[in-house]
Amino acid sequence: MGRIRVIFKRELAGYFATPIAAVFIVIFLLLSGAFTFYLGNYFARGQADLVPFFDFHPWLYLVLIPALAMRLWAEERRSGTIELLLTLPVTMWEAVAGKFLAAWCFTGIALALTFPMWITVNLLGEPDNGVILASYLGSLLMAGGFLAIGSCISALTKNQVIAFVISVVICLGFILSGFPLVLELFSGWAPQFLLNAISSFSFLTHFQSISKGVLDLRDILFFLSLIAFWLFATATVIGMKKAES
Amino acid sequence: MGTMVEIQNLRKTFGPIVAVDGVSFTVEKGEVLGFLGPNGAGKSTTMKMITGFLTPTSGTVRICGHNIEDEPIEAKKRIGYLPEGAPAYQDMTPASFLTFIGEMRGYQGATLKRTVSETVEKVNLQSVLNQSIETLSKGFKRRVGLAQAILHDPDVLILDEPTDGLDPNQKHEVRTLIRAMAQEKAIILSTHILEEVHAVCSRAMIIAKGKVVSDGTPAELEGKAPTHNTVLVTIAGVDSLVAHNHLMTVKGVKKIEEQGRDGDLVQFRIYPDDGQWILPDIGHYAREQRWEVRELYPDRGQLDEVFRLLTTPKQTIS
């Protein structure tokens, strides 16, 4: 556990040592604010909740999270530090988990910095703070899912642009997997159980059910097992691809 | 136990390419083993397998008795490794980078601080401790890489081209550092600078096409050179043919080559029988003949000759 913490600490400090942290957080706050107030008609709705705020999170994450995740392993491979890291007395999963948790914690910080939204809504009315808390949790879990996907794609290539583009496409697939755009790709030929399976992978469906305030264990488990799967895939990919410099 | 590194039948293939083809050797405490070989001979791949970065296709690596595949953590704890090009996290400072490495190696608190500052002193990094690594010169970057490798005072030190790209002064510093540590450790370093083998290695191994083609002390290696123990002599005012014939009568002389002429000077290279030591006999003979000898010196043989001899495919004349 100790070595995960050391890697976690170094990675997290790394975000703040470079302009990445400032740029990411500022853009995240600006966009989430802009979406909420302009596109979401926050005031016109006349309701004391944060639904328009959280509704845009999947789309915000779709662009921002792959940008954050693309450097996770691609950068280590490009600079050769992967050889340094993996010849230290550390196991592969400790390295994968440490780096992932740092990135996840960083998005958590960005998410926490949206607290003025929560203050505002509490000043304006009497929202259900339990629902808001659940939505925050759901949003964080979804961000973790996107990050884990990005981590795996980042391990596949040392080209960060490629990592970004592929991650966006895969994340989009997961957001939309319950929607006609994706389902119609399969509906002509795939059996019904596969269609059901695919639609059950929709981030949007799971996120929306959490952000209604219904903390269903299945939704939480969905995101956690998805993260575990993609991190396992990350470790496997690194093991296979590390020989290529 | 003296044996620190034990390698048996190490093999690595990448698809159809055989990078390392059945390499076996051991390294004892106190030895500095120089890995020589042309680019692409398999030096780096071998080192990457010894340090546990790459998994061998077959064969075993034992570090102080710990198999790198079965007990990777125990083995890696005992290794200090400088990968090729001395990679480091560029946005960190040497101070924070070495602290990170120290923590990964299990140091904490006061011990961590002391270990880092001792290492910094050893490699002379004091002046750049708080600059980010990306702004450092090549020499300092290499020293940062060396520092992270020796920080935990490992039993086994693996250095992939530790002096590559350094200026002569920096090379000298790094070699002095390696020599100073040699007693306590088993060191493997790769290089293609042959003078380095003389400067630091107690043993040299030449690798070509994934195979060990020669293994011995630097002196033994030189003994394989065709010019080993030949004598170069420059004489003034003699007829070269006459001198040539005279010299052939000296005991132990096998062959004489005229190296060149300059005015009334003529230079010969004299090859001995079976690499024997004929310099005194040549000197003695020249004095007896009352020749005016301008130069007389032995040639121990050049490592790069041996290197070329062993690593270039033999030309077959058909």
Average pLDDT per 10 consecutive residues for chain B, totaling 318 residues: 88 91 93 89 93 94 94 95 94 95 94 95 92 92 94 95 86 90 92 84 91 88 82 87 86 86 88 86 88 88 79 60
CATH of the domain at B234: 3.30.70.3100
Question: Which residues on neighbouring strands pair with residue B156, listed in sequence order?
Answer: B79, B186
Q: How far is B52 from chain A (nearest CA, A)?
A: 6
What is the C-alpha to C-alpha distance for residues B190 and B35, in angstroms, rounded to an integer? 4
Together in a domain, B170 and B292: no
Is there a contact between A89 and B101 if contact means CB atoms under 8 Å apart? no
CB of B232 within 8 Å of a chain A CB? The answer is: no
Query: In the prediction, which pLDDT does B37 show?
Result: 86
CATH number assigned to the domain comprising residue B117: 3.40.50.300
Nearest chain A alpha carbon to B102: A6
- Mark which of B169, B194, B222 sits at the end of a domain: B222
For residues B256 and B203, membership in a common domain is answered with no
Shortest CA distance from B98: residue in chain A: A10
Euclidean distance between CA atoms B17 and B180, whole angstroms: 39
Q: What residue of A is the nearest CA neighbor of B14? A: A243
Are residues B152 and B108 part of one domain? yes
Q: Does B91 touch chain A (CB under 8 A)?
A: yes
Amino acid at B125: L
- Residue type (1 letter), B194: L
Contact B151, B98 (CB under 8 A): yes
- Ordered by start, the domain boundaries in chain A are 2-241
Asked if residue B115 belongs to a domain, the reply is yes
The size of chain B, in residues, is 318
For residue B142, the distance in angstroms to the closest alpha carbon of chain A comes to: 14
Is B277's Cβ below 8 Å from some Cβ in A?
A: no
Q: Is residue B195 part of a domain?
A: yes
- Is A6 within 8 Å of B92 when comparing Cβ atoms? no
Residue B29 lies in a domain: yes
B17 vs chain A: nearest CA distance in angstroms? 13
B104 and A79 within 8 Å at the Cβ level: the answer is no
Please judge whether B106 and A2 are an interchain contact, meaning their C-beta atoms are less than 8 angstroms apart: yes
Of the residues B189, B222, B255, which one is the last residue of a structural domain?
A: B222
Q: Is A6 within 8 Å of B48 when comparing Cβ atoms?
A: no
| B290 inside domain | yes
Residue B254 in any domain: the answer is yes
Q: Is there a contact between B49 and B98 (Cβ–Cβ < 8 Å)?
A: no
Other residues' Cβ atoms within 10 Å of the Cβ of residue B66: 18
The interface predicted TM-score of the complex, written ipTM, equals 0.88
CB contact under 8 A, A89 and B76: yes
Which of A5, A12, A86, A87 is the best mutation test for B, with the most CBs of B within 10 A?
A87
Residues forming a β-bridge with B168: none
Q: Does residue B188 sit in the same domain as residue B209?
A: yes
Closest CA to A18 of B218, B112, B43, B134: B134
Yes or no, beta carbons of A87 and B73 under 8 Å apart: no
Looking at the fold, whether B160 and B79 belong to one and the same domain comes out as yes
Contact A2 B85 (CB under 8 A): no
State whether B85 and A89 contact (CB < 8 Å). Answer: no
Show residues of chain B in contact with A6, CB under 8 Å. 100, 103-104
Residue A163's pLDDT band, with cuts at 50, 70 and 90, is: very high
My answer on whether B7 and B135 are in the same domain is yes
A118 within 8 A of A201, measured Cβ to Cβ: no
Global pTM? Answer: 0.87
On whether both B162 and B128 belong to a single domain, the answer is yes
A&B contacts, CB < 8 Å: 66
**The predicted structure's pLDDT at residue B148:** 96
Distance from CA of B104 to the nearest CA of A (A): 6
Residues B217 and B258 in one domain: no
Please give the tally of structural domains in chain B: 2
**Which of 143-202 (B) contact A at CB < 8 A?**
148
Chain A residues in contact with B96 (beta carbon < 8 A): 13
Residues B43 and B179 in one domain: yes
Q: Alpha-carbon torsion B11, B14, B15, B18, what sign?
A: negative
Q: What is the mean pLDDT of residues A87-106?
A: 96
CB neighbour class for B158 (10 Å; exposed up to 12, middle 13-18, buried from 19): buried
Shortest distance, CA B51 to any CA of chain A (angstroms): 6
CB under 8 A, 24+ apart: contacts of B199-205: B199/B175, B200/B32, B200/B34, B200/B175, B201/B32, B201/B33, B201/B34, B202/B30, B202/B31, B202/B32, B202/B33, B203/B31, B203/B32, B203/B33, B203/B34, B204/B33, B204/B34, B204/B36, B204/B303, B205/B25, B205/B33, B205/B34, B205/B35, B205/B36
Q: Is residue B309 part of a domain?
A: no
Put simply, the answer to whether A81 touches B53 (Cβ < 8 Å) is no
DSSP B17: E
Distance CA B225, CA B180 (A): 30
Q: Which domain holds residue B282?
A: 230-299
Q: What is the per-residue pLDDT for B150? A: 95
How does strand B186-190 pair with strand B253-262?
Answer: unpaired
- Tell me: do B183 and B235 sit in the same domain: no
Is residue A201 a contact partner of residue A115, using CB atoms and an 8 Å limit?
no
How much is the pLDDT for B226?
81
CA-based nearest distance B161→chain A, Å: 15
The answer to whether residue B188 sits within a structural domain is yes
**Closest CA in chain B for residue A94:** B104
Same domain for B281 and B159: no
Residue B122 vs residues B93, B146, B149, B240: alpha-carbon distances, Å: 17, 10, 12, 57
Amino acid residing at B268: F
Domain boundary among the residues B222, B255, B290 is at B222
| Chain B stretch 23-62, residues whose beta carbon is closer than 8 A to a beta carbon of chain A | 48, 51-54
From the list B53, B100, B106, which residue is nearest A87 (CB)?
Answer: B53
Distance from CA of A71 to the nearest CA of B (A): 13
Residue numbers in B near A236 (CB within 8 A): none
| Closest of B190, B165, B163 to residue B177, by C-alpha | B163
By percentage, how much of chain A surpasses pLDDT 70? Answer: 98
Q: Residues of chain A whose C-beta is under 8 A from some C-beta in B?
A: 2-3, 6-7, 9-10, 13-14, 17-18, 79-81, 83-84, 86-91, 242-243
How far is A132 from A13, CA to CA, in rounded Å? 29
Same domain, B68 and B7: yes
pLDDT at A120: 87
Token pair for A56: 């845009």
